[in-house]
Structures are given as structure tokens and as C-alpha cells.
Amino acid sequence: DQQVKQNSPSLSVQEGRISILNCDYTNSMFDYFLWYKKYPAEGPTFLISISSIKDKNEDGRFTVFLNKSAKHLSLHIVPSQPGDSAVYFCAASINQNAGGTSYGKLTFGQGTILTVHP
């Protein structure tokens, strides 16, 4: 049962344009969402996060939007740069009122390969 899904395995964008990466989740208990960027043979690098009490969080070129009713989040990168080319993972966690085996662990999507062309 895949609770976090990234349905687009890859995305190709021209430099300077907007990149939009999408993520869907099924577990309504998730209360925190994160985006990570990953290069081959390296660990995931934290990019940006959003709490379930918000619908938008912005950090420089990166903005994350959360639509709780649709159980959908997206990452916008504007403007896209060639150095943004990497695999992007969305992840979700349960932090409030969670016990047992749920607390804090990240559940990851399968990733989207972003390629930004010069």
C-alpha cells in the first residue's frame, strides 16, 4: 500500500521556466510534508516543508502548496536552473498524537527525475 505517490517518473523543463512536481497521499493522518532533492550516490537533501495547518510555504525559488481536501501537494521551482536537475522526493510524516510505530518516520514517494535544459 503506497501511501505517498509521485505519479510522474520524470519531468523535463527549459531553464528559466517553472517546474511543477506533484505528489498525492492517501493517509489523512499525515500532518507534515517535506520535499527532498537527491543526486546519485548522495543522501537526500532537505528542501522545504509544510505543516498541514498551512496551504503554502515559500523559500526563495521554492514554493510548496498543500491541498488537504484533495490530499495533494506540489513543489514549484521558479525560475528553474540546470543545477536543479536531480531526483525530487516528497515525503510525509505523522507527528501529533501519534504513537506506536507511526511517530516521526518519513514515508517517501517514488521520486520524480527533474531535468532542466539550458
Residues in contact with another protein by CB under 8 A are 32, 34, 36, 41-46, 49, 89, 91, 93, 95, 100-111
Q: Which is nearer to another protein, 47 or 116 (CB)?
A: 47
Nearest to 32 by CA among 95, 97, 90: 95
CB of 118 to another protein, least distance (A): 27
What sign for the dihedral angle of Cα 69, 75, 78, 79? Answer: negative
CB of 6 to another protein, least distance (A): 10
Q: Which is nearer to another protein, 101 or 118 (CB)?
A: 101
CB of 16 to another protein, least distance (A): 29
Classify residue 95 as exposed, middle or buried by CB count within 10 Å of its CB (0-12, 13-18, 19+): middle
